[in-house]
Amino acid sequence: MPAVVFGLRSQEKIEMIIVNVKGGLGNQMFQYALGRKLSLKTKQELKLDITTLKRVDSGKDTHRSFTLDAYTIEKNIATHHEITLLRYPFGIISKGIRWFRLKILGQTHIGFEKNILSKTGSMYLDGYWQSPKYFEDIRDVLLKDFQLTAPTSKIMASYQSEIVKGTPVSVHIRRGDYVKNPRVLKEFGICSQAYYQKAVSYVQEHVTEPSFFIFSDDIAWVKENIPLPESTVYVSDPTLSAEEELILMSSCSHNIIANSTFSWWGAWLNQNQEKIVIAPTPWFNKNNHLFQDLIPDSWIQLPRN
């Protein structure tokens, strides 16, 4: 029985896939995507465990909210009883096994684990599952699931009208907790100014008259530190949600992403058959080998530093 992938061993029978939803929007999308894949494969209901998101530990990690509900996903929330049955099928023994595998063995299920796709029966999935290999064959399903439920806001419509005018290129520059949180900075690292300059130059060499759209949580820093064409559009408005920003990224013809699952999904959802996607390498400072199946072969990788 793999760590934190529990099957039902109780006398009470339930048939479903439960996914532990945690992290930011991009992480939540990876977790949902694997759950959706397995629910279709096993013909079982998919349910989401959002209890982890309700526990705040601001001293260690950035608190995240459940944001998947902005999209037209399967929004079935698991009950406490259902979670307990699947997550702890052997009661206190299951809790001990899970603690040992997570704390002692450090098994957090980040990369691609092919054996997960062969699992059958009800299961509880607790991991990050960051690889398109889990779900690339249900791309059409996910393209429908990750559409916004709310009508297009005025500010989003304004940016959309700019995007459709030329050959738009999204550029995601993430700072925020990557810079402010010492633990996160040490483990993840950030993309350098040189990376973005090389990426922009590559696009300019291969795309006729590209227009750049900057997505960042620190627009002021970008304007001061990243040389960009005068026609560059800075996507910044307090009323624009992260879920809307991600969809705007996916609406661009090409994408320059950060080492962030947020802009990864913006690029992956881009339906331009001839898109250029530039991604940084290495992805993170630590445990980069776990992300070897994260970047599709068709994407271009440039040194992050």
Q: How high is the pLDDT of residue 135?
A: 98
Contact 202, 243 (CB under 8 A): no
Q: Give me the amino acid identity at 13.
A: K
* Pair 228, 293 in one domain: yes
Are residue 178 and residue 134 in the same domain, yes or no? no
Are 138 and 227 part of one and the same domain?
no
Residue type, 284: F
pLDDT at position 83: 93
Confidence at residue 104, expressed as pLDDT on a 0 to 100 scale: 39
Which CATH number fits the domain that encloses residue 260? 3.40.50.11350
Shared-domain flag, residues 177 and 239: yes
pLDDT, position 304 = 96
Report which DSSP code applies to 52.
G
Q: Identify each DSSP E strand in the chain by its residue range.
A: 5-7, 16-20, 45-49, 123-125, 167-173, 210-216, 233-235, 254-256, 277-281, 300-303
Instruction: Looking at the structure, tell me whether residues 206 and 253 fall in a common domain.
Output: yes
Domain that holds residue 42: 5-145
CATH code (residue 30): 3.40.50
What pLDDT, on a 0 to 100 scale, did the predictor assign at position 105? 38
User: Is the distance from CB of 97 to CB of 87 less than 8 angstroms?
Assistant: no
Q: Cα–Cα distances in Å, from 19 out to 7, 51, 224, 232, 286?
A: 12, 11, 41, 40, 25
- Rounded to two decimals, the pTM is 0.89
Q: According to the model, what pLDDT value does residue 5 have?
A: 56
Residue-wise pLDDT tens for the chain (305 aa)?
333 555 544 456 789 999 999 999 999 999 999 999 999 999 999 999 999 998 755 445 566 899 999 999 999 999 999 999 998 765 555 555 454 354 433 446 899 999 999 999 999 999 999 999 999 999 999 999 999 999 999 999 999 999 999 999 999 999 988 888 888 889 899 999 999 999 999 999 999 999 999 999 999 999 999 999 988 999 989 899 999 999 999 999 999 999 999 999 999 999 999 999 999 999 999 889 999 999 999 999 999 99
> What pLDDT is recorded for position 142?
98
Q: Do 126 and 191 belong together in one domain?
A: no
Task: Say whether both 26 and 130 belong to one domain.
Answer: yes
- Cβ contact 171:193 at 8 Å: no
